[in-house]
Amino acid sequence: MTIPDDRPAIGRAETFEIRDRPASEAAGAASLQRARGHAEAVVGASWRGSRSRTGIRRLHQAGCLKLRFPRLPEDECQAVVINTSGGLTGGDCLTLGFDLEPRAALTVTTQACERVYRSSAGAATVDLSMRVGDGAALAYLPQETILFEGGRLSRRLHLDAAATSRFLLVESVLLGRAAMGEVVASGEIADRWRLRRDGRLVLADDLRLGGAIDLLGARACALGGAHAFSTLVWQGPDPCGLLSRLRGHLTETEGASLVDGLVVARLVARDGYALRKRLGPFIALLAHSALPLVWSL
């Protein structure tokens, strides 16, 4: 508001002036707040007589990502990942890292299902790096990722494991929630896995569903009409024997194979409830520990 001179403005006309904002200020006002999170942990084994117990060596967390280590019976160590932003959308960025020293044992899970909401621009990104030392055991068991209509997610998983280690990696995706009548007609999810054994690449897997997801998922060569699926990768002793037992539990639309000593399997189900019921026995067969308690809450 501009007043021509210093005389009282009462009873006088007032002149308003509107000026254009500087380009930088306008761009800043138009930008949307995005979630940023980083968490990493190093765990190692310590000995109490003849028993080994895994504990935290180093822990770092920043932004919207938190790690919690609940008190559990026996000597089990479990990390629960919490995304305090409440979900993901385009432009959000999370990075996670876990380092298991020799003979350590760790289970990684999430507090709840991760939700990927409609994106106005770009994709949410999640980067996960893990290292598993000699004789160590890792179970990466996050709860399901739920992709909502218009959601876009790009994930990258990098793992370098010793040949003497054991690990189980599980990643599950739900295309909407069937119980809520949700249908995902469009969106995108891309998973890029790179697994190394003693530094040598042994598995490179790229999975992408994009565009008209409902039409693509209906094809027999894709999901065959299913709306939930899981990828499992396992390393451990006697992979051939385990693969034979695993195949005995698979349906006609599922598959498992042996890739350079790794057992790789994909499961599909009509919805999230059916998928979780199928996952339980597989995890019990493959993991070094029981199903995380947060899965049942």
pLDDT score for 177: 87
Q: By mean pLDDT, which of 150-159, 190-199, 264-273, 288-297 is the weakest?
A: 288-297
| Full residue range of the structural domain in which residue 73 is found | 37-292
- Whether 25 is in a domain gets the answer no
The reply to whether 31 falls in a domain is: no
Give a yes or no: residue 10 inside a domain: no
Over range 69-83, report the average pLDDT.
Answer: 88
pLDDT of residue 59: 97
Answer yes or no: is pLDDT of 11 > 50: no
pLDDT of the residue at 49: 66
| Rounded Cα–Cα distance for residues 160 and 170 (Å) | 16
**Within a domain: 11:** no
Q: Report pLDDT digits (tens) over 131-154.
A: 999 999 999 999 999 999 999 999
Please give the Cα distance from 269 to 247 (Å, whole number): 16
What is the tens place of the pLDDT at every residue in 81-99?
999 998 999 999 999 999 9
Mean pLDDT across 18-37: 61
Please tell me the distance from the alpha carbon of residue 217 to that of residue 222, in angstroms, as a whole number. Answer: 5
Number of domain units in the chain: 1
pLDDT of 42 over the 70 cut: yes
CB 124 within 8 A of CB 88: yes
Q: What percent of the chain has pLDDT over 90?
A: 62
- Residue 104 counted as domain residue: yes
At 75 the pLDDT is 73
The pTM assigned to this predicted structure is 0.86
For residue 127, what are the CA distances in angstroms to 228, 274, 279?
Answer: 22, 28, 24
Choice between 85 and 14, residue whose per-residue pLDDT is larger? 85
Residue 219 lies in a domain: yes
3-state secondary structure the chain: CECCCCCCCCCCCCECCCCCCCHHHHHHHHCCCCCEEEEEEEEEEEEECCEEEEEEEEEEEEECEEEECCCCCCCCCEEEEEECCCCECCCCEEEEEEEECCCCEEEEEECCCEEECECCCCCEEEEEEEEECCCCEEEECCCCEEECCCEEEEEEEEEEECCCCEEEEEEEEEECCHHHCCCCCCEEEEEEEEEEECCEEEEEEEEEEEECHHHHHCCCCCCCCCCEEEEEEEECCCHHHHHHHHHCCCCCCCEEEEECCEEEEEEEECCHHHHHHHHHHHHHHHCCCCCCHHHHC
What does the pLDDT read at residue 30? 52
Mean pLDDT computed over 160-181: 93
More confident residue, 28 or 165: 165
Say if residue 39's pLDDT is above 60.
yes
What is the average per-residue pLDDT within 116-130?
94
